[in-house]
Amino acid sequence: MKRRDFVQHLCPSWAVIQVLATANACVQADEPVTDLSASEIQEFERVAKKYNDEGYFQEGNQVFVNLTNPTFSKLGNNLGYVNILDAGVLLLRTDEKTLKAFSNCCPHQGIRGAWVFVNGRFRCDNHGNSYNVNEVNTVSCSSNSISGGLQRFTVVAYKQFLKISKI
């Protein structure tokens, strides 16, 4: 399993996790949903009380996300996406089992808040350039690139939480 892919193992569908997670019925298992090390699990537990009202917490190059926060409800839909503007992260559901994270810095001129997802690509409406989400010809933040792919970040999942590493 690619560690960048968030794979749900605890519930049969996102709709179920959305409904049941608030009642703590879906996350009863103490087992991680990926092959996390003990130190990685401890890291999730260390930040458990640090999430802001929008459901995320940033520390250095890492962003922790609580998927049960309403901020992330759009990720319940296939091809739903959320721009965590201040944290520099675009989250995208690409299928029922996969969430991907990308830099929200436009490879053209660095605008972060003008993204829409259209025809399988993120388009920055500042100048209308669009970028793939398949890591084909990945281009860097603010590199004056008008095509190519967005920089993808690693995602690790634990229960209803994600850790995104922006490196």
Residues that bind ligand FES (CB under 6 A): 106, 108-109, 111, 124, 126-127, 129
- Cβ-proximal residues to 19 (8 Å cutoff; 6+ apart), any chain: none
Sheet holding 115-118, edge to edge: 115-118, 121-124, 130-132
To the nearest whole angstrom, how small is the minimum distance from the Cβ of residue 90 to ligand FES?
13
* DSSP annotation string for 35-65: ---HHHHHHHHHTTT---TTSEEEETTEEEE
To the nearest whole angstrom, how small is the minimum distance from the Cβ of residue 142 to ligand FES?
8
To the nearest whole angstrom, how small is the minimum distance from the Cβ of residue 130 to ligand FES?
8
Residue with Cβ nearer ligand FES (66 or 129): 129
Residue with Cβ nearer ligand FES (4 or 152): 152
Residue with Cβ nearer ligand FES (40 or 125): 125
State the greatest distance between any 2 C-alpha atoms of the chain, in Å, as a whole number.
48
